[in-house]
Amino acid sequence: MAEHMDPEEFRRAGHAVVDWIADYWATLDQRPVASTEPPGSLAAALPAGPSAHGEPVEAVLADLGSLVAPRLTHWQHPGFFGYFPANTSGPSVLGDLVSSGLGVQGMLWATSPACTELETVMMDWLAGLLDLPQRFRSTGAGGGVIQDSASSATLVATLAALHRAGGGRWREAGIDRRYRVYASTEGHSSIEKAARIAGLGRDGVRTVDVDPETLAMRPDALRAAIRADVAAGDVPAIVVATIGTTSTTAVDPLSDIGAICAEHGVWLHVDAAYAGAAAVCPELRWSHVGLEYADSYCFDPHKWLLTGFDCDAFWVADRRELVEALTVLPEYLRNAATEAGAVVDYRDWQVPLGRRFRALKLWFVLRWYGVEGLRAHIRGHVALADRFAARVRADDRFVLAAPHPFSLVCFRLAAGDEASAELLSRVNATGRVLLTHTRVAGRYTLRLAIGSPLTTREHVDGAWELLAETAGTVLTGLQ
CATH assignment of 104-356? 3.40.640.10
Which contacts qualify for 47-53: CB closer than 8 Å, 24 or more apart? 53/1, 53/2
**What is the domain partition of the chain in residue ranges?**
104-356, 365-478
What residues in the chain have per-residue pLDDT under 70? 1-2, 170-176, 331, 479
Decide: 280 and 371 in contact? Cβ < 8 Å: yes
Q: How far apart are CA 19 and CA 3, in angstroms?
A: 24
Q: How far apart are CA 130 and CA 354, in angstroms?
A: 28
Strand order from edge to edge, sheet including 296-299? 143-147, 312-316, 296-299, 267-271, 235-242, 179-184, 205-208
Torsion of CA 17, 23, 29, 34, to 10 degrees: -30
Same fold, 104-356 and 365-478: no
Please write the tens of the pLDDT for every residue from 174-207.
Answer: 456 789 999 999 999 999 998 898 888 878 899 9
Pairing, β 312-316 against β 296-299:
antiparallel
Query: Which residues have CB under 8 Å from 289's CB, separation 6+?
Result: 254, 255
Query: How far does the chain reach from its first CA to its final CA, in angstroms?
Result: 68
CATH of 365-478, one of 3.90.1150.10, 3.10.20.30, 3.40.190.10, 3.40.50.11540: 3.90.1150.10
pTM of the full structure: 0.93
Question: What pLDDT is stored for residue 331 in this prediction?
Answer: 67
Question: What pLDDT is stored for residue 66 in this prediction?
Answer: 94
Residue from 294, 309, 299, 255 nearest 277 by CA: 299
Question: What pLDDT is stored for residue 395 in this prediction?
Answer: 96
Neighbours of 418 (CB within 10 A): 12
Question: What pLDDT is stored for residue 2 in this prediction?
Answer: 67
Which helix or strand (DSSP H or E) is residue 303 part of?
helix 301-304
Please write the tens of the pLDDT for every residue from 136-166.
Answer: 999 989 999 999 999 999 999 999 999 998 8
Instruction: For residue 456, give the DSSP letter.
Output: -
Q: Which three-class secondary structure state does DSSP give residue 243?
A: strand
Q: Which three-class secondary structure state does DSSP give residue 409?
A: strand
Residue from 20, 111, 32 nearest 77 by CA: 32
Pairing, β 436-440 against β 205-208:
unpaired
Question: What pLDDT is stored for residue 346 in this prediction?
Answer: 87
Q: How far apart are CA 238 and CA 244, in angstroms?
A: 19
Backbone angles phi, psi at 280, to 5 degrees: -65, -20
Q: Which three-class secondary structure state does DSSP give residue 241?
A: strand
